[in-house]
Amino acid sequence: MQILALNCGSSSVKYQLFDWSRMEVVAKGMVERVIIGDSFILHEVPGREAYRYESDCPDHQVAIALIIKTLTDPNHGVLSDINEISAVGHRVVHGGEKFTCSVMIDESVLDAVKEVQSLAPLHNPPNISGIEAAQAVLPTVPHIAIFDTAFHQTMPEHAYLYPVPYEWYEAHGVRRYGFHGTSHLYVSKRAAVILGKPSSDTNIITMHIGNGVSHCAIKNGISVDTTMGLTPLEGAMMGTRCGDIDPAIPAFMMQKENLSAKEIDGILNKKSGVLGITGRFTDRRDVIEHANAGDKRCQLSLDIEAYRLKKYIGAYMAIIGKLDAVVFTAGVGEMGWPIREKAIEGLEHLGIYLDKERNKGAMTRKRETLITTDDSPVKVYVIPTDEELVFTEDVAAILDGTYTDHMNFHYTFSRADFVKK
C-alpha cells in the first residue's frame, strides 16, 4: 500500500510517498513558488541524486499533477502507475472544535474545514485548495484529513478559554486551539518509549522550534496546555511572528502609524519575531553566526528567544507537577544547540542538569539524543520529529478500520522495538 502525504501551503506543496508494506519512505519532495511564478519541483528518492525540474504551477491542482507526473516518471519516479497510490493524507492546520482526530474527507468534513478558515486565514485556504486539487487529480482514492489542532482538544476548559466576553466563544469560537499537534504527538510518544514508561504515565514538555514555534504541556500523555492560541500567532517568539505581546500594542501602533487591521496583522505575522529584532534574518543559523561575529541585535534576538523558552519551561512545570522530560524538536530544536543551551542553563534548581558537550554534539536530524547528565532528575532530549509518519499511520488505520484517536491508538513508533528507517 502506497500512501501519499500532502502538506499544502500558500505557495508550496510538500509531499511524501510511504510504502506501508515495507514501512519506509520511497520518495519525498516539494513544489515551490506555486501561483507566484518560476515554480519548480525538488524530488528526492533514497539512494539517488535529488532531481529538480522547473515547471510553471499557476495553482495547486497543477502542482499536485506535477507531483504525480514526477512520481510516475520512467527515469525519476518510483511508481509505474498512478493507481498504485492507495490513499492521500492531507495536513489541515485548523479543525476548530469539531475534529478531535483524523477523519475521512467527505463533503461535510470539507464544509466544516471551510467554516473555520477565518481562524487560520494563512493556512486553511491553501489546505482546502490542496484537498480539492488532489481530489480532482486522484478522484478514486480515499482522502483523509489530519488536523494540527486535534491533539490539543484534550485541554481543559480553564486552559483553552480566554478571559474575554464569553459570548465571543459562543458566537465566534474564540478560544485556544493550539497547533503542531502531530509533531507534539510523535515526540511525546517517542520520549515515553525512551523513558521506558507508558505514554499515559508520562509528564513531558515538548518544544517544537522552527520558523513556527509552539510548546506543549503533556500530563499523563495528553495535551493540557499549549502556547499557540486561537491562531498560530500567540506564544513563543518565532521566525517572523511576535508571539506573546501586550494586546494593546496593535491598537496603539495602528493609531501612531495610521495602519489598517490587515496591515498590523501582516506586521505581527510576517515582520516580527526574529526578523523584527534582527532586522534581516529568520534563519537561526544566520543569527547565531552574526551574533558570534559581534552583531548586537542578533545576540539580543537569541537572548529574547532563549529567555522566553525558559519562561515556558518553568510555567509548564508548575502546571504539570513532577516532570519526566523536556523534548526539543523541529529544525531549530534539533539543530540549534546554542539556543537549547541558553534556554536550559540555570535550571538546576528545577532538576535539569545540562551536559554541554552532549548538547553541542546533538546536531543531527536522525538521532534521538539525551543532552542532560545521567543523574539529572529531569531528562532533556533532542528527538527529530516525523509528522509524516503520523499522517501515514492515521491513514492506514482509517483504511483498515482500526483507528480510534491518539490516546488509544497504538502507533508503531510508540513501541519499544520501533526502529526509524
Edge to edge, what strands does the sheet with 325-329 contain?
Answer: 222-226, 213-219, 204-209, 325-329, 379-382, 369-370
How would residue 349 be classed by pLDDT, with cut points 50, 70 and 90? very high
Q: Does the pLDDT at position 353 exceed 90? A: yes
- Which stretch of 9-13, 72-76, 234-238, 394-398 has the lowest confidence by average pLDDT? 9-13
What is the percent of the chain where pLDDT is above 70? 100
pLDDT above 80 (res 120):
no
- The residue ranking higher by pLDDT, 104 or 34, is 104
Q: What is the DSSP string of 111-180?
A: HHHHHTGGGSTTTHHHHHHHHHHHHHHSTTS-EEEEETTGGGGG--HHHH--SS-HHHHHHH--S-----
Integer angstrom CA distances of residue 86 from 135, 139, 140, 150, 179: 13, 11, 9, 24, 28
Span 104-119, pLDDT tens digits: 999 999 998 888 877 7
CATH topology for the 2-147 domain: Nucleotidyltransferase; domain 5 (3.30.420)
* pLDDT score for 165: 98
Residue 69 CA to its chain's centroid (Å): 28
- Residues 37-47 have pLDDT tens digits of 889 999 999 98
Instruction: Tell whether the model's pLDDT for residue 229 goes beyond 90.
Output: yes
More confident site: 35 or 66: 66
Per-residue pLDDT of 283-342, as tens digits, reads: 999 999 999 999 999 999 999 999 999 999 999 999 999 999 999 999 899 999 999 999
- Give me the pLDDT at residue 272, please: 96
Lowest mean pLDDT, pick from 129-138, 275-284, 287-296: 129-138
pLDDT in tens, 381-410: 999 999 888 988 999 999 988 888 777 888
- Mean of pLDDT over the chain: 92
pLDDT value at residue 407 = 79
CATH 3.30.420.40 domain residues, the chain: 2-147, 195-382
Res 130: pLDDT: 85
Kindly report the three-state secondary structure assignment for every residue of 61-99: HHHHHHHHHHHCCCCCCCCCCHHHEEEEEEEECCCCCCC
**Is residue 9 predicted with pLDDT exceeding 80?**
no
Catalytic positions are 148
Return the pLDDT at 117.
79
The CATH number corresponding to 195-382 among 3.40.50.150, 3.20.20.100, 3.30.1490.70, 3.30.420.40 equals 3.30.420.40
Q: Please give the pLDDT value at position 382.
A: 97
